[in-house]
Structure 1
């Protein structure tokens, strides 16, 4: 690592490793799947190639990322180590925490449908109590994802070609809003196209109570914690 906070504190030590710009987004990409260098470059969108190489080298040195050579071909694949994969829990926690920040929509920011593989899993953590056979497709920007109810929760993957109980088509912000509980299906009426079993969709995307933008601190309000 090139810089350190120099503090004997678990948070500081963790940020020494993953706190640099792009590091946690590299982790996000590798939580989706191991990837070749050019796949990471495409999936991150906006990172300079030399900076990505530096960040991967740092994460590899720290023991978060490792290089693998596939059985077929000679292209190096980057993957999380078992210790690096333990970052899923804090990453998913940050995604849930970000719900009020996501409520205002993408604006001009980049978006890849594959990012929903991590985002939806985080928001749907705990499952919705649906039968294990329930399976719903989520189509965003032409990519079809699959939500499948299991006994341990909701599994989120790319569509594997299996039959689906229903397919939902909507913008990413609407899908995320429904998954987070920031929107109900009544709120999203006319913005969501459901083909198939609507009850299965509602069960998998069950509303959850989350903070809204109005409940976040007002950055312009005076700090009353130090006032008498």
Structure 2
């Protein structure tokens, strides 16, 4: 890399690779899905095209990013290498750590609903295992995501057309607050619209409370 802290320390050497401005946000986009250059540019509002090209070149040289042929056609897409994909764990940790910073809402900051794929995956990862499988849609800013909940964990992705047990419509800040456990559905009933199985939504966002309720009813 062109810049280095010059320290024999794992954190310093990791930051030599991904510590430059925009690098981790490029990783964020590629953790969501491999992307063409134009898709990366669209997903990173505010980045200059020459800077993005420089950062991609640096990450490729470092072995974090690679270029591949798209599944369809002859277009080139950027993707994380196997080593680069191991950044998911520290990125997820930073997302969870950011909860107090997100509480004040977006203000004037840009927002894309696609970013919720990674954020919800990180925030819901430690939820209690589901007693039954369900798929809950999350509708934010006209975009529909799906959260698949099973005994083995939680998977978040854009809606693929499958049937949904419920759909939650709310502002991004409310959805993030619910996923982080900073808010409960009872706190936000006037701010959240639920269509379908409310029990599935409660099991997603407040699993411990839902399980307690189940045991009481039994």
Q: TM-score, normalised to structure 2's length?
A: 0.92
SS for the counterpart of 1:146 is strand
SS state of the match for residue 146, structure 2? strand
Q: Secondary structure of the equivalent of 1:157?
A: strand
Deviations 1:166-196 (A, max 9, x none): 0000000000000001111122121000001
Distance in 2, Cα, partners of 1:148 & 1:36: 27
How is 1:1-228 mapped onto 2 (pairs within 5 angstroms)? 1-206=1-206
More helix by share: 2
Deviations 1:59-95 (A, max 9, x none): 0000000000125322210000000000000000000
Q: Which residue of 1 aligns with 2:211?
A: none
Which of 125-134 and 98-107 deviates more? 125-134
Q: Which runs of 5+ in 2 are unaligned?
A: 209-218
Q: Structure 2 CA distance, aligned partners of 1:85 and 1:98? A: 21
Question: Structure 2: how far apart are the matches of 1:142 and 1:16?
Answer: 38
TM-score w.r.t. structure 1 length? Answer: 0.89
Equivalent residues of 1:60, 1:66 under 8 A apart: yes
Q: Distance in 2 between matches of 1:179 and 1:111?
A: 17
> Secondary structure at 2:139's aligned position in 1?
strand
Superposition deviation, residue 133 in structure 1: 2.5
Poorly superposed stretches of 4+, deviation over 4 Å: none
Q: Contact between 1:117 and 1:156, CA under 8 Å: does it hold in 2?
A: yes
Q: How many residues were matched structurally?
A: 208
Aligned counterparts of 1:125 and 1:106: Cα–Cα separation in 2: 23
TM superposition shift of 1:2: 1.3
* Whole-angstrom distance in 2 between the partners of 1:76 and 1:163: 33
Judge conservation of contact 1:134–1:149 (CA < 8 Å) in 2: yes
The Cα shift of 1:153 comes to 1.0
Q: Residues 178 and 204 (structure 1 numbering): CA distance in 2 closer, same or farther, change over 3 Å?
A: same
**Deviation by residue 1:103-157 (Cα, 9 ceiling, x = unmatched):** 0000000000000000000000133322452110000000000011122211101
Gaps of 5+ in 1: 209-228
- Kept in 2, the 8 Å contact 1:132–1:148? The answer is no
Check conservation: 2:68, 2:77, Cα contact below 8 A: yes
Contact 1:137–1:147 (Cα < 8 Å) also in 2: yes
C-alpha RMSD over aligned residues: 1.2
Assess if the C-alpha contact under 8 Å between 2:178 and 2:185 holds in 1.
yes
